[in-house]
Structure 1
Amino acid sequence: MKFAENFLWGTASAAYQIEGAYLEDGKGLNIWDAYCQEGNRVAHSENGNVACDHYHHFREDVKMMREMGIKNYRFSINWTRILPEGTGKINEKGLQFYSDLVDELLANGIEPLVTLFHWDYPLALHQKGGWLNRESSDWFAEYAKVVVDALSDRVKYWMTINEPQVFIGCGYAIGKFAPFEKHLPCDLTRMTHNVLLSHGKAVQVIRKYAKKKPVIGFAFATPCCTPTDNTPEAIEEARRKSFAVTRDRFPFELSWWADPIFFGKYPQEAYDVLGADMPEILPGDMEIISQPVNFYGVNIYESKATENVYGYAENAYLGCPRTQMGWPVTPEVLYWSPKFLYERYKKPVLLSENGMAGHDWVHLDGRVHDAHRIDFMKRYLRELCRSAEDGAEIMGYMYWSIMDNFEWADGYDKRFGLVHVDYQTQERTIKDSGYFYRDVIQTNGQAIFSDTWEG
């Protein structure tokens, strides 16, 4: 068993979670900047004002990536760092930061993968209606062009939007994430449609203006269900549940977002359950949304959970292993999700995020011994390799995340990183898992098949 020779091995991050410098060098406010200041929204009333201070430490962070053997780095652009009001005047200092970051990555042999939007929506545009405003897709296209004009001479890989299921579902349906609102289905479907239009218009912008031939995708969430056994009936039931649409959960569901992009239409099941709450679709909308992309990016941490009569979701059981987030450890999801996605949408699958939060600290010997994360990576990557062996086209794997960071509503308690960050001093310490991942990359994945690792 082995991965393709051109497999993309890398790590990922998001601007708000690591950059800090939230009011520095002309940057404008986004919804996380604004609404985290209120307190009581995030664990311990924490925020991303400083985070990992990557804005000032990016050169040493890139050097650290090189030491870890990282070949690809997926990062996001903070929209208001370059367009403080979301549209209009460009903040050249903010744009220069990302240009310098790209240069630093390339100088260290690391390929950049740029995500245009990872949840940090401009406050000024939110106050104009945000995703509810049909003009939002034009705002996003304007922003995309600024980034493409500045970076596309050096950047090849592009992702338009990260996890719309989460920033719409958690931000506007259940009120867990910024801007901490709760909307009815008629609003949520309209927001969805405008997000999808934003994606499509960004794809058009990238294709039209990129100076280097682009490879374009997105980074969606909502993994697939896994079969209860290997019978054809169980596999088909898992597939059905994976792509189902329900009225209560539609913002979080897979086909609700992906079918419009790949098939040019919403699932029929959506019309059945949402009825008059479906969005208004104007002539040409679906053609914009369904602009061709090169790959299907997906962030997967556990299998999709559906409740059963015993009080546990189908991906859990009494005493099952869980990460620090409380998520069940379900490595088989990296076999079934890429398989189901590739079979349905016929595009290479990029694991744009996968990883785990653990109880990590610097030990007395000065190292961070996270054997649990190494074991997690082995289990999940073995299943991903098996999926590729069985016919799914797997493009690459981006571990989430390069370093511990601000974990949204959970603040700084949850540590996902391959690198430990002391938030009091900003000292970085590469964890054992970071050195293990270096071995994985150097062997093109073969290190995962050893049951031991000496470090």
Structure 2
Amino acid sequence: MIKLPPNYSEPLPAAFYPASAPLPFSRADFGPDFQWGASAAAYQTEGAWQHQGKGPSIWDDFTRRKGTIRRSEHARVAADFYNRYETDLDLAAAMGLTDFRFSAAWSRVLPEGSGAVNRRGLDFYDRLVDACLERDLRPMLTLYHWDLPSALQAKGGWTNRNIVGWFSDYAQLMARRLGDRVPHWAVLNEPMVFVGAGHLLGIHAPGRRHLGAFLAAAHHATLAQAEGGRALRALLPGSAEIGTTFSCSYLTPHRPGNRQDEAATRRADAVLNLFFMEPTLGLGYPTAQLPALGWLLERYQKPGDDQRMAFDFDFWGIQNYTREVVKFSPWLPLQWAALVPARQRNVPYTDMGWEVYPESVYQMLKQYSAYPKAPKLLITESGSAFPDVVTDGRVPDVARRAYLQAAIGQVLRAKREGVDVGGYFAWSLTDNFEWAEGYGPRFGLIHVDYETQERIMKDSGRWYKKFLGGAVMSAERAGKVGMNLG
């Protein structure tokens, strides 16, 4: 039986494999064109927050506010990826990855969000893309991973309809500079998270708690998602793939068969899983499951918006970490639904408080692929945060390795059932700044000592390397890139 942290209770999820037994699948089962990657985000890893003309972002501002981030931490240095990207790409290549997903910091290339271009910022992403290609890593560029330029927030940010044009201009700038070398593009990262946590719950930047702000931001993000796709397609070569990513959770009712909990689950599904996806297909917002959305969003919509929200993406990035259990709640109007925390359900959970439920990956692939016009699916984020202990130069992260194995197995399960799934990207390549949670939770396949910036490939990363048939790195090369081989 796999040994897991003390918060785990028996029985373990059925999707886990006995540690002593060989896995019932191999890389070859996925086919030669399957994309194997890891993901990262600019704000969480780059640091260099004021370097070479970069402008401030809403997360630079948010982390300076008292009480917003655990232990008052910030990402001014983070994993220092801006200065150490070659080291991290060497490790990604040695691991056997075929693809690397990263995001650009909007305010690094456009300090004011629009207008004057910071050439030094663009040059950084130029070098980063070239460095990926030199290592046979296909770059996937995410245009927006939550770090809106502060100058645009001062104008209303996502609540200002003009952001659709600002974002489209930014997308065109990136496409013109990098489009000849970047084969895969993701427009937005998890729009429901940055509009919901940032404009309704107030726990992420810009820290607003206002239903109207949430609705305006959500509608404008839906428009920007499609307009950004159109801006890219107008400029990129026909071989480039354009997608966007959705956060999602497999939802089950707290009391199966209970009419109130079943209805609450459908309403939660509309918000958490369908809100930004169905409009891309020309279906509009999911008002059948949650009728209140119709009249709530009415004041923000203009004639023709239903058509503008649709875009024929080449792929959807599915970003799944867990399932959620939903119950009816009379205290939450409009949605009338609440999530039951994993800690209250006597189930295994991670440092984020999320249930360990790898089958959720399979369930969400099945749910999204059921749409008649669904494009190819990629798992663009999947991972788990557990405590790490460095022991004799090694990080024996048994739980994270077990989760990685189980999640990949669930992808193959879906693929064997006919789901068009073309890739798996682990979150994340390295440990990083985990937003409001600071540096506490660690998701990385590579451990980062934030004081020394030393890198250690964790046992989960070593397993991924073995599974993918990664290259052997010499001790001399490992010393040059600052990696501890253990």
Q: Same fold (TM over 0.5)?
A: yes
Alignment of 1:172-183 (within 5 A): 172-183=199-210
The residue identity in structure 1 corresponding to 2:267 is: V
Structure 1 stretch displaced more, 122-131 or 373-382: 373-382
Tell me the SS of whatever aligns to 2:90: helix
The equivalent of 1:188 in structure 2 is 214
The equivalent of 2:431 in structure 1 is 404
Q: Does 1:125 align with 2:147?
A: no
How many residue pairs align between the two structures? 433
Q: Is the 8 A contact 1:74 1:114 kept in 2?
A: yes
Superposed CA deviations along residues 8-55 of structure 1, whole A, max 9, x for unmatched, are 110000000000000010000110011212232101101111101110
Unaligned runs of 5+ in 2: 1-24, 330-337, 471-485
Counterpart CA distance in 1 for 2:344 and 2:30 is 32
Superposed CA deviations along residues 287-306 of structure 1, whole A, max 9, x for unmatched, are 22211101111110001331
The equivalent of 1:303 in structure 2 is 323
The equivalent of 2:378 in structure 1 is 350
Superposed CA deviations along residues 393-414 of structure 1, whole A, max 9, x for unmatched, are 1111100000000000000011
Q: TM-score, normalised by structure 1?
A: 0.89
Tell me the SS of whatever aligns to 1:292: coil
Question: What percentage of residue pairs aligned between the two structures are identical?
Answer: 36
Q: Is the 8 A contact 2:55 2:111 kept in 1?
A: yes
Judged with a 3 Å threshold, the aligned counterparts in structure 2 of structure 1 residues 396 and 84 are, in CA distance, closer, same or farther, namely same
Counterpart CA distance in 2 for 1:240 and 1:316 is 23
Judged with a 3 Å threshold, the aligned counterparts in structure 2 of structure 1 residues 293 and 13 are, in CA distance, closer, same or farther, namely same
The equivalent of 2:267 in structure 1 is 245
Q: Is the 8 A contact 1:403 1:420 kept in 2?
A: yes
Shift of 1:391: 1.8
The equivalent of 1:55 in structure 2 is 82
Counterpart CA distance in 1 for 2:382 and 2:306 is 30
Judged with a 3 Å threshold, the aligned counterparts in structure 2 of structure 1 residues 137 and 318 are, in CA distance, closer, same or farther, namely closer
Judged with a 3 Å threshold, the aligned counterparts in structure 2 of structure 1 residues 312 and 275 are, in CA distance, closer, same or farther, namely closer
Superposed CA deviations along residues 158-192 of structure 1, whole A, max 9, x for unmatched, are 100001111111011011001111012x3322211
Counterpart CA distance in 2 for 1:375 and 1:75 is 25
Shift of 1:208: 0.6
The equivalent of 2:93 in structure 1 is 66
Alignment of 1:47-446 (within 5 A): 47-184=74-211, 186-211=212-237, 213-225=239-251, 244-245=266-267, 252-269=271-288, 272-279=291-298, 280-307=300-327, 313=340, 318-344=345-371, 345-363=373-391, 365-442=392-469
4+ runs deviating over 4 angstroms: 226-229, 237-242, 314-318
Shift of 1:71: 1.1
Q: Is the 8 A contact 2:248 2:364 kept in 1?
A: no
Q: Is the 8 A contact 1:74 1:112 kept in 2?
A: yes
Unaligned runs of 5+ in 1: 444-454
The residue identity in structure 1 corresponding to 2:378 is: L
The residue identity in structure 2 corresponding to 1:145 is: Q
Tell me the SS of whatever aligns to 1:334: helix
Shift of 1:315: 6.8
Tell me the SS of whatever aligns to 1:300: strand
Q: Is the 8 A contact 1:226 1:333 kept in 2?
A: no
Superposed CA deviations along residues 259-296 of structure 1, whole A, max 9, x for unmatched, are 11113412233672245322432233222221110111
The residue identity in structure 2 corresponding to 1:373 is: R
Q: Is the 8 A contact 1:368 1:431 kept in 2?
A: yes
Judged with a 3 Å threshold, the aligned counterparts in structure 2 of structure 1 residues 6 and 308 are, in CA distance, closer, same or farther, namely same
Counterpart CA distance in 2 for 1:330 and 1:271 is 26
Judged with a 3 Å threshold, the aligned counterparts in structure 2 of structure 1 residues 216 and 239 are, in CA distance, closer, same or farther, namely farther
Shift of 1:240: 7.9
Shift of 1:157: 0.5
Q: TM-score, normalised by structure 2?
A: 0.84
Aligned-pair Cα RMSD in Å: 2.6
Shift of 1:81: 0.2
Q: Is the 8 A contact 2:349 2:355 kept in 1?
A: yes
Q: Is the 8 A contact 1:239 1:340 kept in 2?
A: no
